[in-house]
Amino acid sequence: MPTITGTTQLLGVIGYPVKHSLSPVMHNAAIAEMGVDFVYLPWPVAPANLSTAIAGFAAIGVRGFSITIPHKQAIIPLLSEISPVAQAVGAVNTVWRTPTGWAGTNTDVEGFLAPLQSCDRPWNQTLAVILGAGGAARAVVAGLAQLGCAQICVVGRNLDKLQAFQTSWQDSPWLVNLSVHDWSELPQLIPQAGLLVNSTPVGMYPDVGHSPVTPDLLGTLPQGAIAYDLIYTPSPTEFLRQAQAVGAEAIDGSEMLVQQGAAALQIWLDRPVPVDIMGQALRQHLRG
């Protein structure tokens, strides 16, 4: 933890609960490496106290903060401006102070894309399948639209929710080749998928023995496909373990977590940040 003095500037993360957040581990490691006079703290903020907390942050000069569940949508009316990517996703995860108030963006999209951008793939010929149609899936769709995927298929179990999800992208600033599908259509979709993304919580600790799809279904993935799980603990998840067993390339959520955090810290400090140090701190912490 950095030394805290009367000149130390405050950064942090708000959520409810927030004690499980690994953001302080990553950010304080980077802050220590950079030698800047900042500290990054976890702040539990109940939903009923959100507007009071944000006003308090302005009053005490907080430089910026991260946002996690359940505030990513509720924060938006309290901001004076939000970025186009945050508007498209409908959620904010990073906020900073400006002369006219708080501004917000969504670095989850950048974090999700980071490991894919190092993969040499013909994305404009790739069909991507996303498991789940919740908030995490929105950042994935925005990222895949920027990547230029030929087709983005979102798969869920609730038809009304799927239709609302699809409708919400109609006025997107990006060309989003999006279709929605019932879970029963997976046997037709997975054999076409160059990228299969799990945005559901199935398989997350402590539910470690489960996968959102069966091994038989994963066995129908095309040769050279990528399986990407947004979950980072355990690593690998059952979903990724099974995908690797049938020859797929596996990506877990730890790189996304690090990269979205690094993008946020760069906004707050307005300088390059040691992404490798953040990754090392996260991996060391997860190993215990």
Residue 22 known to bind ligand: yes
Residue 29 CA to its chain's centroid (Å):
20
Look at the chain and count its residues: 288
Residue 72 a catalytic site member: yes
Q: Given 3-state DSSP classes, what are the helix, strand and coil percentages for the chain, each rounded to the nearest 5? A: 40, 20, 40
Residue 230 known to bind ligand: yes
Structure tokens at 285: 């912490």
d(CA 25, CA 22): 5
Residue 41 known to bind ligand: no
Residue 12 known to bind ligand: no
Class of residue 3 by CB neighbours under 10 A (exposed 0-12, middle 13-18, buried 19+): exposed
Residue 221 known to bind ligand: no
Residue 132 known to bind ligand: yes
Residue 93 known to bind ligand: yes
Residue 209 known to bind ligand: no
Residue 150 known to bind ligand: no
Residue 134 known to bind ligand: yes
CA-CA distances (angstroms) from residue 191 to 5, 17, 175, 176? 57, 39, 24, 22
Among 27, 71, 72, 241, which one carries the catalytic annotation?
72
Cβ atoms 279, 258 nearer than 8 A: yes
CA-CA distances (angstroms) from residue 262 to 44, 85, 158, 276, 279? 22, 17, 34, 10, 10
Residue 205 known to bind ligand: no
Residue 179 known to bind ligand: no
Residue 108 known to bind ligand: yes
Beta pairing partners, 39: 10
d(CA 235, CA 285): 13
Residue 84 CA to its chain's centroid (Å):
17
Bond from prior residue into 191 cis (ω within 30 degrees of 0): no
- Binding residues, by number, are 21-23, 68, 93, 108, 132-136, 230, 232, 253, 260
- Binding residues for NADP(+), by number, are 132-136, 230, 253
- Binding residues for shikimate, by number, are 21-23, 68, 93, 108, 232, 260
Query: Catalytic amino acids?
Result: 72
